[in-house]
């Protein structure tokens, strides 16, 4: 048996002096989260939904906006299209911890689409749960089937690859749903103490909190007609326009509010082709608008066409996207 060294007993006052710095050190290292997905919020992903901060039947996010729905208990990092998801976007551990559980057996089919499976309580789809110190847990949902890269009992570091964003479970768009819990209680990482009144909390659980985006454009492009909504979701709405076909500019957005305006403008080699402001008459989580013209007699002039889509709120630009098109002889 190896010897164990115990220091001589200290007077009570001295013992307290030694313990106080240790407690202070523990308080200096609170639980914090890094971004759980390999994207840049506001550029190639957005937060589509936040934790529902309304205690009643209505829904609101921590900033009192409509980016949530009744009973939503996580943060949804949304990719603009399924085409981007199909390229492979990593899901990463948001903090150091140990893998407590996982699922990797459900197909990547959005709910409502043909072939979507019965969920039977598996709303999270494929995912991973990680346990952290001080009673914290994080859960990562809707991951791609066959992408899970960790095992139960494995210790992982913040930023380590867990798998990829998928379409599994209760999902209507490609995204990662992140849930945060402490001692089994769901927390909003943007407002963990539930004290915010329509604004940012002084202390969040994020090392660097993603900026709050109250809505914006996800994608824009040209097509020879009004695109199908499923093609917008898939990322295949951009289609060939010829000199003899209609020329249509479209914009795909999230977080639209009643009173917003989508402004679509097309500039061609001989001047402005389209200039239309389209008001939104209701608040919608996802939406699109399109505007265009039939080909003139003799066809569209050869040259470059530039589309400019702007989402306006209270008369000011909230988000902008551009699209280009070249028509030859």
Range of the domain at 156: 46-187
Report, in angstroms and rounded to the nearest whole number, the Rg of the chain calculated over CA atoms: 25
Domain identity same for 57 and 179: yes
Model pLDDT, residue 329: 62
Ranking 33-42, 153-162, 193-202, 299-308 by mean pLDDT, the lowest is 193-202
Nearest C-alpha neighbor of 179 from the set 258, 94, 250: 94
Model pLDDT, residue 201: 81
Tell me the average pLDDT of the chain.
90
Domain identity same for 148 and 256: no
Domain identity same for 270 and 317: yes
* Position 18 confidence tier, pLDDT thresholds 50, 70, 90: very low
* Position 30 confidence tier, pLDDT thresholds 50, 70, 90: confident
Residue 277 maps to which CATH number? 2.60.40.2550
- E strand intervals along 169-236: 175-182, 185-187, 216-223
Beta bridge partners, 287, equal 253
Q: What region, left, alpha or beta, does residue 19 occupy, with left being phi > 0 and alpha being psi -120 to 50 degrees?
A: alpha
Please check whether residue 169 lies inside any domain of the structure: yes
Residue 105 maps to which CATH number? 2.70.70.10
Of 168, 187, 206, the one marking the end of a domain is 187
Q: What is the pLDDT of residues 175-222, one digit of tens each?
A: 999 999 999 999 999 999 888 788 778 889 999 999 999 999 999 999
Whether the predicted pLDDT of 3 surpasses 90: no
Whether the predicted pLDDT of 107 surpasses 70: yes
Q: How many domains does the chain have?
A: 2
Domain identity same for 165 and 59: yes
Please check whether residue 5 lies inside any domain of the structure: no
What percentage of the chain exceeds 70 in pLDDT? 91
């Amino acid at each position: 048996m190896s010897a164990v060294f115990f220091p001589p007993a200290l007077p009570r006052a001295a013992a307290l002096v030694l313990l106080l710095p240790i407690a202070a050190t523990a308080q200096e290292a609170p639980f914090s989260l890094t971004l759980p997905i390999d994207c840049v919020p506001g550029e190639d992903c957005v937060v589509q939904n936040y934790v529902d901060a309304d205690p009643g039947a209505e829904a609101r996010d921590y900033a009192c906006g409509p980016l949530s729905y009744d009973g939503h208990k996580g943060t949804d990092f949304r990719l603009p299209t399924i085409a981007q998801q199909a390229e492979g976007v990593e899901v990463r551990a948001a903090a150091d911890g140990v893998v407590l559980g996982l699922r990797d057996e459900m197909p990547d089919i959005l709910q409502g689409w043909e072939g979507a499976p019965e969920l039977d309580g598996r709303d999270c789809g494929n995912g991973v749960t990680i346990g952290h110190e001080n009673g914290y847990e994080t859960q990562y949902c809707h991951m791609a089937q066959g992408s899970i890269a960790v095992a139960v009992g494995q210790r992982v570091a913040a930023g380590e690859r867990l798998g990829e964003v998928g379409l599994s479970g209760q999902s209507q768009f490609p995204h990662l749903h992140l849930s945060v819990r402490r001692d089994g209680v769901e927390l909003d990482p943007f407002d963990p103490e539930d004290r915010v009144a329509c604004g940012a909390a002084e202390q969040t659980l994020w090392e660097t909190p993603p900026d709050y985006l109250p809505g914006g454009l996800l994608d824009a492009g040209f097509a020879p007609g009004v695109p199908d909504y499923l093609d917008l979701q898939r990322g295949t709405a951009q289609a060939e326009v010829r000199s003899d076909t209609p020329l249509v500019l479209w914009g795909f957005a999230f977080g639209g509010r009643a009173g917003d305006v989508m402004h679509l403008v097309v500039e061609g080699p001989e001047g402005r082709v389209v200039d239309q402001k389209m008001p939104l008459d209701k608040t919608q989580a996802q939406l699109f608008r399109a505007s265009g013209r039939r080909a003139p007699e003799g066809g569209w002039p050869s040259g470059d066409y530039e589309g400019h889509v702007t989402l306006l709120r209270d008369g000011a630009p909230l988000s902008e996207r551009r699209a280009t098109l070249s028509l030859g002889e």
